[in-house]
Homo-oligomer: A and B are copies of this chain.
Amino acid sequence: MNASNRVGPRALAALLPDLDRQSGPRYRALSSALTALLLDGRLAGGTRLPSERDLAAQLRVSRATATAAYDDLASNGMLLRRRGSGSYLILPAAARVAGPGARMARNPLTQDTIDLSIASLPAVPGLLQAATLAALEPLGRLAAADGYHPYGLDELRDAVAARYRMRGVETSREQILITNGAQHAFDLILRALVSPGDRVLTELPSYPGALEAIKAHSARTVAVPLSAAHGWDSGAIANALLQTAPRLAYLIPDFHNPTGSLIPTAQRRQTAAAARRSGTRIVVDESFIDIDLRADAERIESPLPMAALDPSGFSIGSLSKPIWGGLRIGWIRADVADIQRLAVARARGDMSGAVLEQLVALELLRDLDANLGPRLAQLGEQRDALLAELTRRLPGWRAARPAGGLSAWVELDAPAATPLTHLLEHRGILISPGSRFAPDGALERFLRIPFALPTPRLVEAVAVLAQTWTELDPKRHARTETSLVTA
């Protein structure tokens, strides 16, 4: 820790808002304000704070208030007290953990927490019935054998293959491997195909779980920005493919996460052709394909599935979004030889999938559209409510209306998404800054806001967002300034 940064009581007081005008207890207002200063960069990590006594005197609050504020910071992992040498602001560990890990490193969510960090839904109402049905005859039939089906249950592989055929792509059971969700599917493909140092092309922004998986396999990400309209810039993708010859390309053409874009057939075709030339295998993640929020008229002109345009590629899918994230069922569609190779990787990782889960999935796939109908209608309303509320409260922010998926990709009027989300966490809202969707932490101007929560919660969340954004004074992030910290 660099102990040369130090802020005196007077300089610090000048940075703080009027505590009397904040809601809640005064010590809490003080700790929130100090957190904001740390997270938006006005005070650097490692800055030594004034003593509690000196700060209390300067602010004309009781010493107990100052002590309680420092205690609060310490309990959030943002203050380090060193005997004899004072108190130092530190970036909390949770703020430094990226990815699925971040959520886990936190304390358990309280009931009041609004969790916008994960774009997912509660289970469809049909889940319980499906689980009860699956627990009876089908499970009884399979329970007599040893339970190992590393490719997945044949009936479920058939049902998944049938869904591809319904989309116009000839697919046999042997082309399907059942996985524990889409993250598992991509991880298996990385295990089977990618060596350390290999390149993997992604969109920018892209799904953080995929970016982390690429990194965990010591591969290098080649990130190609989406076009201004959030579609593929297929020229840029083709150039990147031909110049860097990545081993894989991980793409989300169907209701892209986080932007919600649906990529037209022409761009898919061009990208498939370029990948053939560069020798790159394409992995398309279709996790959100069933969260189709378009009107019926628009659906008629759906683009062709990538599997039709790129027969040697991989398609991965999942029931996590249309059904439930707690049902760990996904799949890979590929050619038969690749599926065999992936099944070996699968067996080495965790042997085989859960039988009962697969039986439940099979029940649910029979009636997927009936299960989904009401859910899609509700999601469409929530999407529109979120966008309307953002326009009303934060007119400087911009968001395109996503055609599907569970989130809006929102452009802020200043590059301060990370400090904003850190402050929001302190206020009971978990949300992912744009930087989580970029391999190098860029995209500070963006925020992914899921609309999976009920409308009143979304309205409440936008109100806190707007209030916090004002307090954060984001305009500071647009200009460069000399430090206010005495050194």
Q: Which residues of A contact B (CB under 8 A)?
A: 97, 99-101, 103-105, 115, 118, 120-123, 127-128, 131-132, 134-136, 139-140, 142-151, 179-181, 183-184, 187, 191, 196, 209, 212-213, 216, 320, 324-328, 340, 343-345, 347-357, 360
Expressed in whole angstroms, the minimum distance between the Cβ of A146 and any Cβ of chain B is 5
Expressed in whole angstroms, the minimum distance between the Cβ of A421 and any Cβ of chain B is 18
Q: Are A343 and B104 CB-contacts (below 8 A) given A209-B348, A356-B131?
A: yes
When C-beta atoms are compared, the residue in chain B nearest to A184 turns out to be B350
Point out the residue from B115, B148, B179, B360 that lies within 8 Å of A120, measured CB to CB.
B148
**B351 engages A142 (CB within 8 Å):** no
Known contacts A131-B356, A184-B350; 13 additional CB pairs below 8 A are A100-B348, A104-B344, A105-B344, A118-B146, A120-B147, A121-B146, A123-B147, A147-B324, A147-B326, A180-B351, A183-B350, A325-B352, A350-B350
Q: Give the number of times this chain occurs in the complex, counting copies.
A: 2
For A328, what are the chain B residues with a Cβ–Cβ distance below 8 Å? 350-354
For A216, what are the chain B residues with a Cβ–Cβ distance below 8 Å? 191, 345, 348
For A131, what are the chain B residues with a Cβ–Cβ distance below 8 Å? 131, 134-135, 139, 356
Point out the residue from B183, B184, B325, B347 that lies within 8 Å of A147, measured CB to CB.
B325
**A132 engages B122 (CB within 8 Å):** no
For A123, what are the chain B residues with a Cβ–Cβ distance below 8 Å? 143-144, 147
* 17 pairs from A and B in contact (CB 8 Å cutoff): A99-B347, A103-B148, A104-B344, A120-B146, A122-B147, A128-B140, A132-B132, A146-B326, A147-B324, A147-B325, A148-B326, A180-B350, A187-B348, A187-B349, A209-B348, A328-B350, A356-B360
CA distance A421 to B147 in the complex (A): 23
Expressed in whole angstroms, the minimum distance between the Cβ of A215 and any Cβ of chain B is 9
For A325, what are the chain B residues with a Cβ–Cβ distance below 8 Å? 146-148, 351-352
For A324, what are the chain B residues with a Cβ–Cβ distance below 8 Å? 143, 147
**A348 engages B196 (CB within 8 Å):** no
**B146 engages A351 (CB within 8 Å):** no
When C-beta atoms are compared, the residue in chain B nearest to A180 turns out to be B350
**B349 engages A212 (CB within 8 Å):** no
Expressed in whole angstroms, the minimum distance between the Cβ of A176 and any Cβ of chain B is 14
For A145, what are the chain B residues with a Cβ–Cβ distance below 8 Å? 122, 326
Q: Are A104 and B340 CB-contacts (below 8 A) given A351-B209, A355-B326?
A: yes
For A99, what are the chain B residues with a Cβ–Cβ distance below 8 Å? 344, 347-348
Of A101, A128, A184, A348, most buried by chain B (CB within 10 Å of CB) is: A348
